[in-house]
Amino acid sequence: MNDDQQTFVPADFEVPGGLEGEAFRLEPLGERHNERDLAAWTGSIAHIRATPGFVGRGWPPVEGMSAEANRDDLAGHARDFAERRGFTYSVLEGEDEVIGCLYVYPGKDDPRRVQVSSWVRADRAHLDLPLYEAVSRWLREVWPFDAGRIDYAPR
């Protein structure tokens, strides 16, 4: 098996460090986002669970989670990013306000597919479609994925 078959993206692909949108920006998710990330999703659990791509998935947990458990989750996403196994970006507004999250991972049932999901806080619901459109364009134009392999629930 060659390296490209063992990794989610080709070894020579330079993973984007972010994306600048009109009303938001993306940067790799990490432990530094913990407090703001936890507040963002715990304040919007019902909204996120109703977002295309999250319906029926059981995330986020209705009971929430501790700051330590959330930090561990973010550390896992950061490891995946560093090891090129999956890419999670924090959706930010202004200087550093977390308003959502974007996940780009191999498909669970078929790792040749690309599973993409995103959410925004309930009070930023109007940004769900612009985020979806910007990310869809970004994936087509910058990432090394064939459009037919990308699963990203339409808005």
Number of domains forming the structure of the chain: 1
CATH number reported for the structural domain that contains residue 132 in this entry: 3.40.630.30
Cα dihedral 126, 58, 40, 82, rounded to 10, equals -100
The Cα 83–Cα 125 span in angstroms is: 32
Instruction: Say what angle helices 34-42 and 67-82 make with each other, to 10 degrees.
Output: 110
The whole domain housing 110 covers 18-152
Residue 102 covered by a domain: yes
Closest CA to 75 of 31, 43, 45: 31
Strand-strand pairing, 97-106 and 150-152: unpaired
Residue 3 covered by a domain: no
Q: What is the pLDDT along the chain (155 residues), one digit of tens a residue?
A: 344 445 799 999 999 999 998 899 999 999 999 999 999 999 999 999 999 999 999 899 999 999 999 999 999 999 999 999 999 999 999 989 999 999 999 999 999 999 999 999 999 999 999 999 999 999 999 999 999 999 999 99
Residue 41 covered by a domain: yes
The tally of CA atoms less than 13 A away on the side-chain side of residue 138 is 19
